[in-house]
Amino acid sequence: MTAENIHHPEPSYLEYRGKYKGLLGWLTTTDHKRIGLMYMYAMMVFFIVGVILGELMRLELFRPGQQFYGPQVYNGLFTLHGIIMIFTVVIPGLAAVFGNFAMPIMIGAKDVAFPRLNLFSWYLFILGAAIALSSQFMGDGPPDTGWTFYAPYSVTTHTNVIAAVLGAFVLGFSSILTGLNFIVTIHRLRAPGMTFFKMPLFPWAVYATAWIQVLATPIVGITLLMIIAERTLRIGFFDPNLGGDPVLYQHLFWIYSHPAVYIMILPAMGVVTEIIPTFSQRRVFGYKAIALSSMAIAFVGYFVWAHHMFTSGMSSTARWIFSLLTFLVAVPSAIKVFNWVTTMYKGSIDVKPPFLYSLGFIFLFMIGGLTGLSLGSLATNIHVHDTAYVVAHFHYIVFGGVGFAFFAALHYWYPKMYGRMYNFKLANIAFVFLFAGFNLLYFPQFIIGLMGMPRRYFDYLPQFTFGMQLSFYGGILLAIGLVLMLYNLFQKNGAKAPANPWGGSTLEWTIPSPPPVENFDVMPEMGPDEEPYDYK
């Protein structure tokens, strides 16, 4: 591949006029790049709503006792915060946005295998989100179960659980179809000569993710329908009064919802695996180990779900087995971290914003991952179960990990997406705010969790006040960082971006920024001696 096809008159995917122009042109597009951006815009809106809900919770928790709203409103707040952030932001997350935008280009394809199905997935995503949000305004008040919808409470509460559950069900279908699309794309549309082990590592991560989406999501779909059946038809699946078993619900729910964590984090790891070598100006260390660890995480991650249920009354044999499996799944994650660090070792490191956000990812993901091990061991789990410690742990994974990797990916592919650069200085300042704010917000939650602060309470004992107030100020810093970052990215008046601003060595950097509609003028091919990261 050379620079031959960089200057040509074809319109970019942003300017291209199909049958319709303007907004309608976007809403009817089957271009994977436009659909990726459409996911991103929708998710940004949901994310901002979710952040506001989170900040409202911090406001209530500023002092002990009731400040602004009572327990019922607070329960509604954390439920909606959870549903929005989990189901409409981080689960579609990097896979839907960058899996769509970048993955087909990186494997040398013109589009995904089923472009119309891809657009349909986006509409299902919007529909599911709309149904979930409608639960706030219809029926007998916003759901108050938490995003986990634990039975039997979700069966007996009078709030509008059915709409929220149905929304999550539809969102699940969007996820399954996207996963299916990506599996077929990667199997069938790789450039000639690009074998699986010549594929870049972000597509590898997306591939592993897609399998989890296809295999795990149906289980939560069925489970959510069982809740609806139990609420409306009084079939006794979960409610002991009807002859059901509440622990069965937790099994079924977490069989999906633990692998869902890997749906979120695997593409995040994939992105970081692209960024670290690019800015260290070295080839990635341990290509095969990283590729296969993605698959290992996807596989082993399937069998650890019951670590969420150590205090729910499971058999003790099941408990130690799941604890052991949980420890095993940390191994492939650690392999990746060691490979990233080794890639940087003796590299000529160029600290640009994408690299900075990736470093933030590694640091925060490490804290999240290691505290996950203390939660996965049986004895400590009993102590910190359902405390703020858990809240801190999963925010370190989901926001510190997935969120920061998303920001890294956004800063990495932004020039490719819009054909413009952004202000590096402002991006760095935003990073400092985000990183400091994040740690100030969530680290105190580890401490007060260890001291015994339970999660999901609107009130607390006076000894937790200091930690709660630190978190509040952290939340403000974090919000400032987000505003700065979004402001920087959405003014779109930076210098024109060259085709390869970072010296990247994957296929997307060989085509213009922004790419033409069909990505490649000449279909790329890989010779027998070519290596995965040979495109410079």
- Smallest gap from Cβ 409 to Cu ion, in A, equals 24
Q: Which is closer to Cu ion, CB of 258 or CB of 411?
A: 258
Of residues 131, 255, 392, 478, which one binds another protein by CB under 8 A? 255
| Two tokens, residue 225 | 């329908």
Of residues 116, 188, 288, 496, which one binds another protein by CB under 8 A? 188
Binding status of residue 32 toward Cu ion by CB under 5 A? no
| Two tokens, residue 313 | 């009354």
Binding status of residue 215 toward another protein by CB under 8 A? yes
Binding status of residue 149 toward another protein by CB under 8 A? no
Contact of residue 231 among Cu ion, another protein, none (CB under 5-8 Å per partner type): none
Contact of residue 258 among Cu ion, another protein, none (CB under 5-8 Å per partner type): Cu ion
- Smallest gap from Cβ 318 to another protein, in A, equals 4
Q: Which is closer to another protein, CB of 13 or CB of 322?
A: 322
Residue 82 to residue 59: CA distance in whole angstroms: 17
Q: Which is closer to Cu ion, CB of 32 or CB of 251?
A: 251
Residue 200 preceded by cis peptide, ω within 30: no
CA 518 to chain CA mean position, Å: 27
Part in contact with another protein (CB under 8 A); list of ranges 173-181, 250-258, 469-477, 485-493? 250-258
DSSP string of 379-448, one letter each residue: HHHHHHTTBHHHHHHHHIIIIIIIIHHHHHHHHHHHHHHHSB---HHHHHHHHHHHHHHHHHHHHHHHHH
Given a contact cutoff of 8 angstroms between Cβ atoms, the answer to whether 220 and 124 are in contact is no
- Smallest gap from Cβ 255 to another protein, in A, equals 6
Residue 376 to residue 362: CA distance in whole angstroms: 20
- Smallest gap from Cβ 391 to Cu ion, in A, equals 14
Binding status of residue 258 toward Cu ion by CB under 5 A? yes
Binding status of residue 503 toward another protein by CB under 8 A? no
Given a contact cutoff of 8 angstroms between Cβ atoms, the answer to whether 187 and 283 are in contact is no
Given a contact cutoff of 8 angstroms between Cβ atoms, the answer to whether 515 and 524 are in contact is no
Q: Which is closer to another protein, CB of 303 or CB of 424?
A: 303
Given a contact cutoff of 8 angstroms between Cβ atoms, the answer to whether 215 and 222 are in contact is no
Residue 382 to residue 377: CA distance in whole angstroms: 9
Q: Which is closer to another protein, CB of 83 or CB of 220?
A: 220
Contact of residue 70 among Cu ion, another protein, none (CB under 5-8 Å per partner type): none
Q: Which residues bind another protein (CB under 8 A)?
A: 188, 192, 215, 219, 247-248, 251-252, 255, 299, 302-303, 306, 313-318, 321-322
